[in-house]
Amino acid sequence: MSEETNQLIAQRRQALQELRRRNIDPYPYSFDPTHRAADLHREYGDYTAILGEPRVRIAGRIMTRRIHGGSSFAHLQDETGRIQIYLRRNVLGQEDYETFRRLLDIGDILGVEGKVFRTRTGELTVEVESYQLLAKALRPLPEKWHGLTDVETRYRQRYLDLIVNPHVREVFRKRTLIVQTIREFLNRRGYLEVETPILQPLYGGANARPFTTHHHALDATFYLRISNELYLKRLIVGGFERVYEFSRDFRNEGIDRFHNPEFTLMECYEAYADYERMMDLTEEMLEQVALAVHGTTEVEFQGQKLNFARPWRRISMVEAIRQTTGIDVLAQDVAGLRKLLLERGLPEEDLETEWGSLVAQLFEETVEKTLVQPTIVYDYPLEVSPLAKKKRGDQRFVERFEPYVAGMEIGNAFSELNDPDDQRKRFEAQMARRRAGDEEAQPLDEDYLRALEYGMPPTGGLGIGIDRLVMVMTDMPSIRDVILFPQLRPES
RNA sequence: GACCCGUUAGCUCAGGGGUAGAGCACCGGACUUUUAAUCCGGGGGUCCUGGGUUCAAAUCCCAGACGGGUCACCA
| Residue A51 pLDDT greater than 90, yes or no | no
Name the closest nucleotide to A466, judged by C1' and CA. Answer: B75
Give A311: exposed, middle or buried? Use CB within 10 Å, 0-12, 13-18, 19+: exposed
Q: According to CATH, where is 2.40.50.140 located in chain A?
A: 3-141
Please state the pTM of the whole predicted model: 0.95
Q: According to CATH, where is 3.30.930.10 located in chain A?
A: 164-312+373-482
Name the closest nucleotide to A438, judged by C1' and CA. Answer: B73
Distance separating alpha carbons of residues A13 and A135, to the nearest angstrom = 13
- Residue–nucleotide distance: A138 CA to B21 C1' (Å): 27
- Listed as ranges, the nucleotides of chain B within 7 A of a protein C-beta are 1, 6, 9-13, 23-28, 30-38, 43-46, 65-75
Distance separating alpha carbons of residues A93 and A65, to the nearest angstrom = 19
Percent of residues, chain A, with pLDDT higher than 70 = 99
The 3-state DSSP class for residue A277 equals helix
Lowest-pLDDT choice from A205-209, A398-402, A421-425, A482-486: A205-209
| Residue A105 pLDDT greater than 80, yes or no | yes
- Residue–nucleotide distance: A411 CA to B22 C1' (Å): 50
Name the closest nucleotide to A345, judged by C1' and CA. Answer: B71
- Residue–nucleotide distance: A1 CA to B47 C1' (Å): 12
- Residue–nucleotide distance: A250 CA to B65 C1' (Å): 26
The domain at A164-312+373-482 falls in which architecture? Answer: 2-Layer Sandwich (3.30)
Lowest-pLDDT choice from A31-40, A42-51, A242-251, A404-413: A42-51
CB atoms within 10 A of CB A367: 21
Using one digit for the tens of pLDDT, what is the confidence trace for A357-375? 999 999 999 999 999 999 9
Residue A346 pLDDT = 84
Using one digit for the tens of pLDDT, what is the confidence trace for A297-316? 999 999 999 999 999 999 99
Q: How large is the angle between the packed helices A466-474 and A275-294, nearest 10 degrees?
A: 40
CB A374 within 8 A of CB A307: yes
CA atoms within 13 A on the CB side of A152: 3
Using one digit for the tens of pLDDT, what is the confidence trace for A328-356? 999 999 999 999 998 888 888 888 888 99
What is the average pLDDT across A262-277? Answer: 97
Residue A3 pLDDT = 59
Residue A421 pLDDT = 97
Is the ipTM, as predicted for this complex, more than 0.85? Answer: yes
Using one digit for the tens of pLDDT, what is the confidence trace for A173-193? 999 999 999 999 999 999 999
Domain A3-141 has CATH 2.40.50.140: yes
Distance separating alpha carbons of residues A213 and A210, to the nearest angstrom = 10
Which among A312, A334, A340, A317 has a CA at the least distance from the CA of A388? Answer: A317
- Residue–nucleotide distance: A290 CA to B68 C1' (Å): 30
Q: Nearest residue to B28, CA vs C1'?
A: A102
